[in-house]
Chains A and B, each alone.
Chain A
């Protein structure tokens, strides 16, 4: 079956702009989590959605938001981009939280 698909793969934005990233989970997976990875850092948890509801949120400012649609596809949005937002953004889907998560290839966001 198809894996987790993230679009776009690469993105360059300027400071102050906003960006929307998309994630299509594995069919049948209802939990979608988003992570930020910066050089030298582990995976920083952003938020997790399950059945269109945000169940958990990490320690990120309100500029980072997300949503999940009825088909489990998820989007995350970052408004008023800052240079420090440059990172690899990873989406992971799983049957439910705490179980094995399958990751997409990520979206590499560069803010200039």
Chain B
């Protein structure tokens, strides 16, 4: 049973527009959420995180929104740039294992 789901395997966005990547989770015990970016043949790199006590966290062009009642989080990238083309993973933690549970990833393609 997938506890963290990224339902869109890929997303294509025009350069300069907003990219919105979505993530849903099922475990209500999760209280810490992270987004990672991964280029081919490299390990994921940390982008931004959010604690369940907040509903929004911003870092430059990246903003993460958390809707606890809907068990949904999203990553907004504004404006999208060609270098943003990568696979984005969301991860969650906070259950009794305190392990990071990962989504399957969404491949973001920024079109020039």
Name A's B-contacting residues (CB within 8 A): 4, 6, 33, 35, 40-43, 45, 48, 56, 88, 90-92, 96-98, 100-106, 108
Contacts and interface: CB of A to CB of B under 8 A. Distances in A.
Interface residues of B, number: 24
A108 B101 CA distance: 22
Interface in B83-98: 89, 93-94, 97-98
B42 interface: yes
Contact of B102 (A45, A96, A97, A98): A45
B32 A102 contact: no
Contact of A100 (B43, B46, B103): B46
Chain B contact residues: helix, strand, loop or mixed: loop
A46 B8 CA distance: 24
Contact of A98 (B36, B41, B46, B99): B99
Given A42-B89, A98-B99, 5 more contacts: A42-B103, A48-B99, A90-B43, A90-B44, A96-B98
Interface of B: 6, 9, 32, 34, 36, 41-46, 49, 89, 93-94, 97-105
Given A92-B43, A105-B42, A105-B43, A98 B100 contact: yes
A80 to B, nearest CB: 26
26 contacts: A33-B99, A33-B100, A40-B9, A40-B104, A42-B89, A42-B102, A42-B105, A45-B99, A45-B100, A45-B101, A45-B102, A56-B97, A90-B43, A90-B44, A91-B43, A97-B98, A97-B100, A98-B93, A98-B99, A100-B34, A100-B49, A101-B46, A101-B100, A103-B36, A105-B43, A106-B42
B32 A43 contact: no
Contacts of B9: 40
Nearest to A103: B43
